[in-house]
Structure 1
Amino acid sequence: MARLVGSDRTPCINPRCRRTAPRDKFPGEMICGKCFRSLPAPARNRHRRFWREIRKWNRRIARTGDAFRRERMEAIRRGWINRLCWHWDTVLKPMVTNPSKPEGLDGFLAEVGL
């Protein structure tokens, strides 16, 4: 399937991956499950932790009736969202779009210039 600019699908951020997802569910950027699982475990776990905290604060905000507490909880949730966005932009996205060269014969020959 070719990547169409005007299509209703969002492509994976990995340039070598051809997977897509519905644009209404993933309006901006997305990484497919296979590419996400290929990332190092510490990066995946940290990303999942951010999402877990965001969902936890969403549940707490939905249950509270006090406006002052809700405002404070929303500020905490925005902090977790900012951390998630920072992690996506500075850690995950560069890992996927610019992977390091694999060690081995091909990497060695590229370093030598052959």
Structure 2
Amino acid sequence: MTGARTPCINPRCRRTFKADGGSDEVVCGKCFRTLAEAVRSEHRRYWREIRKWDRRILRTADNLKVTRMAAIRDRLSWQLALHWDAEIKPRLIAPDKPESLDAFLEEVGL
């Protein structure tokens, strides 16, 4: 186990994954399940659409159609990356503070 490992982006999680060269930002399944259901379903929807267009591109022989479908897939990939940066990462890196005495004192400035 001397190979490079990629940690989960949640700073409180200690899980790591084998570095496969794809991405250096990974969310483990346990941390992903802590997100709101709406965020998870939106993320899954983007991945389903991307995979659907990938399958269609592989089945199509017409180059013009392949170019158009690749543009659609690229737009979905861009939207997925935007969703990752805007919705998933902020919720895991800096989650909302729970209502407690410490949060109230910080809000008041004491």
TM-score scaled by structure 1? Answer: 0.87
Larger mean CA deviation between 96-105 and 84-93 belongs to 96-105
Residue in 2 that maps onto 1:59 = 55
The Cα offsets for residues 30-51 of structure 1, whole Å up to 9 and x where unpaired, read as 0000000000110111000000
Give the alignment of 1:5-20 within 5 angstroms. Answer: 7-20=3-16
Gaps of 5+ in 2: none
Q: What percentage of aligned pairs have identical amino acids?
A: 56
Distance 1:18 1:7 in 2: 17
RMSD of aligned Cα (Å): 1.8
Query: Which ranges in structure 1 are unaligned for 5 or more consecutive residues?
Result: 1-5
1:34 to 30, 39, 43: 30
Distance 1:44 1:21 in 2: 20
1:28 positional shift: 1.8
Question: Displaced runs of 4+ in structure 1, greater than 4 A?
Answer: none
| In 1, Cα distance between equivalents of 2:6 and 2:65 | 37
Structure 1 residues 112, 28: CA separation in 2 closer, same or farther (over 3 Å shift)? same
Q: What is the total number of aligned residue pairs between the two structures?
A: 109
Specify the alignment match of 2:104 in structure 1.
Answer: 108
| Maintained 8 Å contact 1:50/1:84 | yes
TM-score (norm 2): 0.90
